[in-house]
Amino acid sequence: MISSKVTIQSAEIKIEHEKCSDPSWCRDKEIFIESSSSDNNTLTTLTFNDYLKIYVFWEAFSSAEFFDALYVPETGVLFFGCGSISARVCTKENKLIDLEHVCLFWGLSQQQNYILETGELDCFLYSLDGKKVSSTAVDPPYEMEVKDQGIKFTSIVVGTTWLRYDDNG
């Protein structure tokens, strides 16, 4: 088992990864997320402030290096992704906001008043409360540039695509 713990302001997030071939014991839990991959081999348990448990069954390629989490204290939203899925969870209501099935999740970062999710073939822009604002196709290698109107991606394969900010951001 690989385990880590991070604290963001007053929120403690414990992340545990373990090899797993049968997650049937946790399928009926409050928040259970399963990748659509037929090669799922890892069960990740996120424990938020010792009261909310999120179970994620996914395909890890080597260890847990493709797992990323980002918490926004102002809205209580936990963003995370791994392998071929990404999700947003409202920690105040203990519920899944939404889930994306992606080709390959890369990472999360905050850009101005938005959360940027990058990936192999898709990138997403979310509001701080977890609502999807924009999405675009990309293809590596690509360059990313933050502009006043959004985030511009340039690739020799796809060309130029954008994640546009909404009017409220």
Please write the tens of the pLDDT for every residue from 69-100: 999 999 999 999 999 999 999 999 999 999 99
Could you tell me the two tokens for 128? Answer: 């701080």
Distance of CA 143 to the CA centre of its chain: 21
Q: Rounded to 5 degrees, what are φ and ψ at 26?
A: -115, 5
Q: Rounded to 5 degrees, what are φ and ψ at 34?
A: -125, 130
Q: pLDDT category, 65, cuts 50, 70, 90?
A: low
Q: What is the pTM of this model?
A: 0.92
Secondary structure string (H, E, C) spanning the chain: CEEEEEEECCEEEEEEEEECCCCHHHCCCCEEEECCCCCCCEEEEEEECCCEEEEEEECCCCCCCCCEEEEECCCCEEEEEECCEEEEEECCCCEEEEEEECCCEEEEEEECCEEEEEECCEEEEEECCCCEEEEEECCCCEEEEECCCEEEEEECCCEEEEEECCCCC
Q: pLDDT category, 105, cuts 50, 70, 90?
A: very high
Please write the tens of the pLDDT for every residue from 107-165: 999 998 999 999 999 999 999 999 999 999 999 999 999 999 999 999 999 999 999 99
The domain made up of 2-164 has a fold known as Thrombin, subunit H (2.40.10)
- Using only the alpha carbons of the chain, give its radius of gyration: 16
